Every structure is written in structure tokens, then in C-alpha cells.
Structure 1
Amino acid sequence: MVEAGDLDRFRTDLDRLAPGAGIIALAVSGGPDSMALLALAHAARPDSVIVATVDHRLRSASGEEAAMVARYCAALGLPHATLAPEKPIAGASIQALAREARYALLADWARARGARALATAHHADDQAETFLMRAARGSGVSGLAGVRPRAEIAGMPVVRPLLGWRRTELRQIASRAGAPFVDDPSNQDTRYDRVRFRALLADAPALDPAALAQSAAALAEAEQALSFAVDRLWSERANGDVTLRLDVGGLPRELRRRLVRRAIGLVRTHHAIALPPWGDASNVEPLLDSLAAGKRATQAGVMLTPRGDMWKIEKAPSRRSL
């Protein structure tokens, strides 16, 4: 049974992220965190919850875990679907590949059933682990902001109503609700970065996961403010179509960094440049150094030419074959 205090708290968190009526789809793996999400959501919105479990088929027990979730949903009277990728997941970064496949499957399923949002069970301890992992890699504001309470992934709104909850709380909620759950053995596999950082947090009491998660939330607000500033600066300082001109006069490096990334992305889109790969996290530091020194530079198929504080951004000329 879900206690009244937990239910009120969850309703507040969920209503903030997904207000109003409509179907909420839940991603439930069978672990204690997602089973707590299932128990809380069923208690809060019993008539508007649907559930799916993704069986990546990476472990022999995964099929039975999905069946366990299905049985519990049947007992609660909730619709449940088990989803699986068409092709086996394989590659060097298998967790990243599994995540990509999982969200694609969940988004398609949720959309087909008219869900207005997909809810996942990410919590404060997940956020703290993500913060430390990204800090160790030298991430900037966007990366350190971690898991967002609300995002769009694979074209589907995704909400995380448990980001303010601790792992231990959720395990207790699942137990009190009588929900079955399993502990994924991969959570003990030290080959994965997340497992090692989880152990680091456990061994360092001075690193408070709740405080780290709060720092990530503050950085998410800073990221939102920076995005707002960049949108306004773009409307004021960028012009052109095939060839862009960008006035960067008086701007700090972080804003130049974001504006030039946007400019490169737009030129690549306009000219259908697919290779080399490009993204919001692509390293542009050497490029910014060259432009600040008044030197022309090329990156990702785009040429940038500085004329004082005015930068011209256009498709790079094709290389002549010898």
C-alpha cells in the first residue's frame, strides 16, 4: 500500500511535469525504482496509466523479469506491453546502444497509444552519479545539468517525477506496496562507469547524493537561462541563409561557443552535410581559438572566416583531388 504522504508528494511532482488529464505511459524494468514508480502512478492516476517493459534480450533472466511486471500490472488492472528490439544489440558502447533502442521503442509504443508523456524512474541517486561521471569527463554546464525533469526524446515528451527521491525511499515504497522487483546484476558490474561512481558515492559520506542532485538542478536552470540568452542573441546578431554572418563583439566565450555551434549546425542542415558527425557536444575549442586569433578555420564541413568581430560561416569548399 502506498502511504498518503508519499502519494501526495508524488502527485505534486507528477502534476508539475505533466499537468492535466491524459494517458501517462510508464517505462518499468522490474527494478525497485521503476516498480515504485508503477505503484505510485497507479495510486495517483489509476485510470490513465499504461505500462511497458523493454526486454533487451541481453540477459537470460530478462524475459522472466518482463513477465513479472506483466503479472503485477494484470493484478492492478493496468495495460502492459513487453517490447523488444528487432535486432540484437551489439557494439562497443552496449549500454548507450541499449538506451537508444529502449527510448525509440518506448516512444513509438507510447505515441501509438495516445500517451501525452512517458515517465521514467530516474531518481536523485541517478542524478548524483551522472553529475560525477560528467564532471570527471570535464563536461560544461549542459552536461553537468544531468538528467532533465522534462525532455523530449525520440519525439516523445519524457518526464522524471522521481528526480527528488532517493533510491532507498523508492525501494521501501515498492516493498510496502507489495510490488515484486529484481536487482539487475549489471548494477554490480564494475566494467561500467556508473557502477564505479555508485561505489564511490557509497564509500564517501561527504558526497551527499541529494546535494549533488540539487547542484545538477541549479545547473539545469543556468542552462535554460543560457539557452534563452542565445535565442535572443541569435535573433539580434545572426543574419543570412546560405552564408551566415554572426556578430560576436563583446560576447563571453561560452556564448560564442553556443552561437557558433548553432551556426555550424544550420549550415550543415542547409547543405545536407552528413559527415563528419556533428552534435551539440562537439569540441569547438580549437576553432574558437583560431577565430579569436583572426584565422580562418574549417570544422565539420563548414568554413568560418573572421573579420574582426564579424564571423562569416558557410559551406567549406570541396577538396580538389590530385
Structure 2
Amino acid sequence: MEFHDIYLLYRRELERVEQLLDERAHAEHSDLAKAGRTLLEAGGKRIRPLFALICGLGERAWSEDVAKVAAALEMIHMATLVHDDVIDRADLRRGKPTVRKSYGNLAAMYTGDYLFARAIQLLAEVDNLAVHRLMARGIVLLCEGEIEQIEDFYNWSQGVMTYLRRIHRKTALLISLSCQLGAMVGGAQEREVAALARFGHAAGMAFQIVDDLLDFTGAAEIVGKPVGGDLRQGNLTLPALLAASRPELGQRLRALVREGMPDEDAEEAIRLVVASGALAEAERLAERYLEKSRHLLGAVTREAVREQLMGLTSFIIRRRY
């Protein structure tokens, strides 16, 4: 099943999620309201809500609780993006000015905090203690992942395992929770909930690796942010770490990427990463994670859910934005 077809299947459910986001991201304070509106109008793939809806509904009837879980997860994701843009000093997100660019760093940080709080407030309407425990633990790990990323800016001594642990916390965890909590609130059997959590983790690891590949290969007008942005900010992702391990160019790459590097050095560093063959190696790792995720779907009893999630894994490896 194609990605577009899956979106169409859940069009009404995603519209309800969008309505919840619009209602709950609203603020009485004018700057918070404008910043929240900026985020919502920037849109997004809503991939986390889609995972939650598929795993929570699938072949079952409508559940408002699943929609609330899906919206809360997306609000948490939105909050992390606002904070990331402050840390990265990013001016563009999804092709539009970031909150920090439009309203300043202080307003952006409080906007992110506000979205976190509103997500927790929305989730409190779901009467399931296990959901709250899992989400609370997830937010803690998410914050730890953010701190680790900041600590490792421009740190060439970090290895691939450090990178994988970081993206587990920053990205894979939230996608895993989307599948797990959606299924749990939707009434799936315990064995299936566990399988979907593991599926979401593997798919989430692949999703972030592909995202890091797009930072080198994507067109800025499609990806919505400057090409090579991570490397320019000192965020050393998998392609850069793999390229730095190449004896023939690693030393030059490490010398180029430093705080305050000029644009010409950043552009040379990007060319070195692309020329190193690291992109193909990183893509192979993403494909291995996706293969693992597909294998885990064997424990999912609902045929429609398996088929739809399989379609999402195909989108992850082929996506261009």
C-alpha cells in the first residue's frame, strides 16, 4: 500500500488530530498564540499521529482516546523542534521561518515548554495509568538525548554507537511510543502492543538515518531547510562519522568542521562526505533497520495494520522530505 493511500484512509481521523492540535496549542497570550499558529501552519508529515492511528484503530471502530494520544505525541514532537531550532540557531523549518527567527529565542523556548505542558494536559484526559508512565519516561529520555547531542557538537571522538544511542532517544523512542500507546489505548492484546513498540523503534531508527542522509542529498526547497545544516552546526550525524573514518579524507574532514567555520570550509566538508561513499553505507544500515521492523510485523494479528505499516516502511526509505 502506498503512503498517499494510507493517508487517504485516515483522512478524517487525521483531521480530528489536526483539530485537537489547533484547539490545544491555542494560547491566550498573543505571542504564544502567534508562535503556535506559526508551527501549525508550517504543517508536517504527521507521521507520529499516523503511526498511532494505524496501531490504535486499524480494523477497530473510532476512539477519541487514540486521537488524543496521537495529538499529544505530535505536540511533544513540535515542542522538541522548537527547542532544536534554538539550539541549532536555525532560521528555516519546513521552508518557513522558525519560531526563534520570527519571535526570538526566549519566546521560542517558552513556546516549546508550553507545548510540552499542553501535551501532558491533553494526555491526562486518557484514563490509562500505563500510558502516563510510559510517556513520562519517554520525555525524560528525550531530554537526555537532546543534552547528549549538545555535548557532542563538533566531537569527532564519538563513535557510531554514540550516534545510535542518541537517535534512539531523540527520534526512535517517540515513534515507538506512537505505535505502543496507540495500540494500548486502542485495546490491542499485550503481545501485539509489545511487537508494535519494537516495530516503531526499528522504523524510527531508519527514519532518523534517512533524515540525516537528506541533510546531504535533499533539495533545500523540498526538505525545507539548508542542505548540510547539521554539519554546519557541529551536529555530527552518521554520514559524517562514517566519512571521518576513511583514512584518505578523514583527517581533512575533521580539520574543516569546527565552530565558526566559514561557508567555503563547510561546503568542502559536505563534498567530502558525499564523495566518501558514507551515504550508501548509512542507507544500508537504514535498510537493515527497516528489514527488522518488517520482520517484527509478523507478530501483529490484524492484517490491515500489517499492510498499512508495511506501506509506511516503504515510504521511509524512499522519502525525499
TM-score interval for Structure 1 and Structure 2 normalised by the shorter chain: under 0.3
- Structure exhibiting the larger radius of gyration computed from Cα positions: 1
TM-score (norm 2): 0.27
Bigger strand fraction: 1
When the two structures are superposed, what TM-score results if normalisation uses the length of structure 1? 0.27
Question: Comparing both structures, which one devotes a greater share of its residues to helix?
Answer: 2
